[in-house]
Amino acid sequence: MTPIDREPFGRLPDGSVVERVTLRGGHGFTAAILPFGATLQSLMTPDRDGHCDDIVLGHDDFDGYLAQRKFFGATIGRYANRIAGGRFVLDGAAVALEANNGPNALHGGPQGFDRQLWRIVDVSDSPGPTLVLERASPHGEEGYPGNLETRVTYRVRSTTELSVTYEATTDRPTFLNLTNHSFFNLNGARSATQILDHRLTIPSERFLAVDATAIPLPEPPRPVEGTPFDFRSPVAIGSRIRMDDEQLRLGRGYDHNYCLASGTGLRLAARLEAPRSGRVMELFTDQPGLQFYSGNFLDGSTSGKGGLLYRQSDALCLEPHAWPDTPNRPDFPSARLDPGQIYRRTIVYRFSTL
């Protein structure tokens, strides 16, 4: 079996063909990527008995991705998460974005990177099965300044390890915040189970409390100690999600940014364990934050893989990225990108079993 497969997956309304590129590791481990949205469409991983299942939510055909915008597996940009009021000031100039999440701008706007067709520029099997996608985002797209050249590299790095690397340059000052928005269920995307029994570890001592529109409050990050947000040791997600806590009420569950330890290089940001399947996922990143979202707004309106209706807590997201609303918060780690700089961020998903 070849380490890389390419096949037509669908067509855009203008007739453009969208391929699916499958990268193969060992023991049945495969990652399938669509250039539309630079999307992780499928991720097959073995359970404790060696049986492989797809563990990311999404659609079996391309029409599902066109019909509804749910961010399943997509690359998010130009700015992942929310920007308050859909506006910010950069070097004294006011920048207006389109509000697409109540009063705020979310995930790059109505036509963010997840709704664009990326260009395949390289498919190779060394140093591991690799797909490289590129996209030029023009100055003013969705309101963001700067002509942006962006590259996403998916690579199967070992038998059961997938890395996603983002690189970008700009010709004028801008803000940039890219991530992958996969919804994970380690029992399988077709298992019809929830993730409330998954045990989660996030080695972070602080999180960002939010207001009713999910924008960080004007206060320093809060300690997790003594709150339902403490995942420094493995905790079943469902064990505290119904607690009487204002932040849980505002998010209808977990939908909060965890402040990761400062430093350079990859470091562990989360570990997820599924007792039923025995699958374990460790997530490493060089990003300053991790958004944990417990699938609170999956409401049964979306038909996904295998014809299942996705409902609340059928999956979770672990999104490494800059802190939300950073363009309006000089007290947060900066997400600014200037000409001459190279934006480079990496996510590594490493899989094993209990």
DSSP notation for 132-176: EEEEEEPTTGGG--S-EEEEEEEEEEETTEEEEEEEEEESS-EE-
pLDDT band at 263 (very low <50, low <70, confident <90, very high): confident
Catalytic site residue 321? no
| Burial of residue 292, with CB atoms counted within 10 A of its CB: 0-12 exposed, 13-18 middle, 19 or more buried | buried
pLDDT in tens, 11-24: 999 999 999 999 99
CB atoms within 10 A of CB 165: 16
What is the rounded CA–CA span in Å between residue 259 and residue 247?
16
- Looking at residues 207-221, what average pLDDT do you find? 98
- Whether residue 319 lies in the annotated active site: yes
4-353: what fold? Answer: Beta-galactosidase; Chain A, domain 5 (2.70.98)
The overall longest dimension of the chain from CA atoms, in Å, is: 59
List 59, 107, 181, 256, catalytic entry: 181
Beta-ladder partners of 30 = 24, 44
For the segment 222-248, the average pLDDT, to the nearest whole number, is: 98
pLDDT at 126: 83
Q: What's the pLDDT at 220?
A: 97
pLDDT of residue 264: 78
Q: Give the helix/strand (H/E) hosting 65.
A: helix 62-67
Stretch (H or E) spanning 64: helix 62-67
Residue 122 burial class via C-beta count within 10 angstroms: exposed 0-12, middle 13-18, buried 19 and up: exposed
Q: What is the pTM of this model?
A: 0.97
Catalytic-labelled residue, pool 141, 161, 273, 319: 319
Mean pLDDT over 28-56 rounds to 98
* Residue range 217-223: mean pLDDT, rounded: 98
Number of H helices, E strands in the chain: 2, 29
Return the pLDDT at 302: 87
Provide the pLDDT confidence category of residue 141 given band limits of 50, 70 and 90.
Answer: very high
| pLDDT exceeds cutoff 90 at 232 | yes
Tens of pLDDT, residues 73-129: 999 999 999 999 999 999 999 999 999 999 999 999 999 999 999 999 999 998 899
